[in-house]
Every structure is written in structure tokens, then in C-alpha cells.
Amino acid sequence: MTNIKLTIAFIMIDIILHAVTSYLFLFNLNLLEAVAVASFFNYPFQISLALDLVFITNNGLISTRLKKMNIFMEDTIKTVMEPVNTWKFNSQTDSRVTKIKIINSDLIRLKFISSAVQAIRQAHQELCDIARELNEQLSVQVTVEMAGCFGLFTGLLYNLYVTLVSHHDSIIAKVNSVVSLSLWSLVYIGKVFFINRSCAIAVVEAKKIGEIIHELDSPIINDELRNEVHQFALQMVQNPLIFTGCGFFSLNYSFVQSFVGSVTTYLVILIQMSKIPSKPDVPTELSTIYENSTEWW
């Protein structure tokens, strides 16, 4: 259901951006030409948006499967942690055969749980392998995407600042520029956030099962189940799930914080280095006299 909502949201964003771009071209072109030119300019963005949607939705599916595994493991632990062989027997009414049946039932239960943990361990490994393969296949695209978003987001914010402090444009032109720049800025920072969010959620769900299985390591389990738990823990340590951009950086919430911090730093540098008049140039009386005197000489 979440992936369906996300797909609808991406389609709506694409339609809105296409409409805004077409509207901006209407000042110099007719409607048909404006739509055609907007489609041409937005085509690379639409391809990038489609790849982002594939990456995010697949990460969402992997996260959902991992979450279901975690819930199943928690239910399994509740079953294991139930007291084993704690039934009280009346020596006059309960026979030795009844006690043996209950003990055998406990052994069967532990055997079933051991098989379940083994199946979950294998499924967890396969899901993590799928996530790594997805990251490897789209790693270059995601890396270029993050670099492009950094440059474009910084440039858009700088142009937004220039538009706001400039007094040479008309009110209508300024409003159009502010709306367009703000919308595109939100789109690019949104892409960075949702890509990293999908990776962070998948990593959290993959690590969570490692915390859950440690609760199974208790005196009431048998050697077979304890061995499965230790193998699961070793698998988690040796093969952790990590999403990276070609190995240069990890995709998570920390990257979003670093991204925003870097954009802010470069934006401040650009603003300090730029020379943008905050007010229109109005010649003073002294400057007018000086200009007239230089013209006379």
C-alpha cells in the first residue's frame, strides 16, 4: 500500500512540474509548443524519477519482508520462553507415560523452532543479497544522482536568494521565479531524503533481527537451537547490510544531515562572494554633479 501511494505521489509530482514548466514557456510560445518544449526539458528528469521509484519501491518491499521476519521471530521467542516441563503432576493420577509424552512434546517444539530459525536465517541472507545486488546495479546512478542533486539544490537556492534580493524584475516575473525555484528545490531535496530513507529503514530492519535472536540464547533451549542462534549472529556480524554510493559514502540519515550541512556551507560562501545590489541604483545629487562635471571637461 505504501509503494502504491509513493508511486501516485511521484506521478503527481511529475505532472505538477510539467505543468509549471509549460506555464513558464507560455510567455514566449503557444500552448502546444510550450508543452512540447517542457516535455523535452523534463525527459531526463522523468527517467531519473523512474529509476528512483524503482530503487525506493524495491527497498520498501525488502524492508516489509524483513519486518515480517522480525515479527515472526518475536512470536517464536515468546513460544520458546514459555516454561518447559513446568506442569505439576499428581502422583496418584498422572502416570509416567503422561510425563514422557509431555517431554517429547517439548522436544518436538524445540525441534520445530530450530528449523524455523534456520529457515529465517536463510531467507534473511537471501533478502540481504537481493538488497546488495539492487544497490550494486543502481550504485552508479544513485551516486550521480546525489552529486547532481547537491549541485542543483545549491544552485537553485542561490538563484532563489538572488531573485528575492533583486529589485530589477517585475512582481509577476519574481513570483514565477520564486515558485519555480522553490518547487524544484523541494523536489531535489525530497529525492535525496526518500532515497536515503528507504535505505536506512531496510538497514534498521535487517539489524533488528540480530537483537531479537540474542534473546533466544537462554538455558531453556537445546544445543541444536543454540547452534542456529550462534550461526545467525555470526552471519549478521560478517555480512551486515549497508547501502553505499559506489563505496564512497553510506546512504542513510547521516548522509542527509551531511548533505544539508554541505549545501548550507557552499550557499553561504556563494552569497558572501557575490555582489548583488539589495536596492536599485539611484544616483545621488553629488554623483549627478560629478558626472556633469566630467562631461564638461
Is 70:58 a contact under the CB 8 Å cutoff? Answer: no
At 105 the pLDDT is 56
Q: What are the pLDDT digits (tens) for 259-280?
A: 999 999 999 999 888 776 554 4
* pTM, full prediction: 0.77
Largest CA distance in the chain: 131
231-254 average pLDDT score = 88
The least confident of 35-39, 124-128, 229-233 is 35-39
> Residue 202: pLDDT above 80?
yes
pLDDT band at 164 (very low <50, low <70, confident <90, very high): confident
The dihedrals phi and psi of 244, each to the nearest 5 degrees, come to -135, 160
Confidence (pLDDT) at 276:
62
Whether the predicted pLDDT of 67 surpasses 80: yes
Residue 49's pLDDT is 84
Does the structure show a pLDDT above 80 at 120? Answer: yes
- When pLDDT is averaged across residues 132-153 and rounded to a whole number, the result is 92
Average pLDDT over the chain reads 77
Rounded to 5°, the CA angle 58-60-62 comes to 70
Percent of the chain with pLDDT over 70: 73
Residue 93 has pLDDT above 50, yes or no: no
Bridge partners (DSSP) of residue 250 are 244
What's the rounded mean pLDDT across residues 116-139?
89
pLDDT bracket for residue 79 (50, 70, 90): low
Stretch 30-40: mean pLDDT:
71
The pLDDT of residue 219 is: 53
Is the Cβ–Cβ distance between 3 and 57 less than 8 Å? yes
* Residues 118, 229: Cα–Cα separation, whole Å: 9
Q: Confidence class of residue 293 from pLDDT cuts 50, 70 and 90?
A: very low
Retrieve residue 238's grid coordinates: 560478517
Q: What is the spatial distance between Cα 169 and Cα 175, in angstroms, rounded to a whole number?
A: 10
- The residue ranking higher by pLDDT, 12 or 26, is 12
pLDDT in tens, 108-117: 666 777 787 8
What separation, in Å, do the N-terminal and C-terminal C-alpha atoms of the chain show? Answer: 80
**Per mean pLDDT, which of 4-13, 39-48, 67-76, 185-194 is the most reliable?**
185-194
* Cell reading at 284: 545621488
What is the rounded average pLDDT of the residues 204-229? 75
Give DSSP secondary structure letters for 239-282.
S----BSTTSSB-SHHHHHHHHHHHHHHHHHHHHH----SS---
Q: Which of 75-89, 103-117, 185-199, 211-225 has the highest mean pLDDT?
A: 185-199
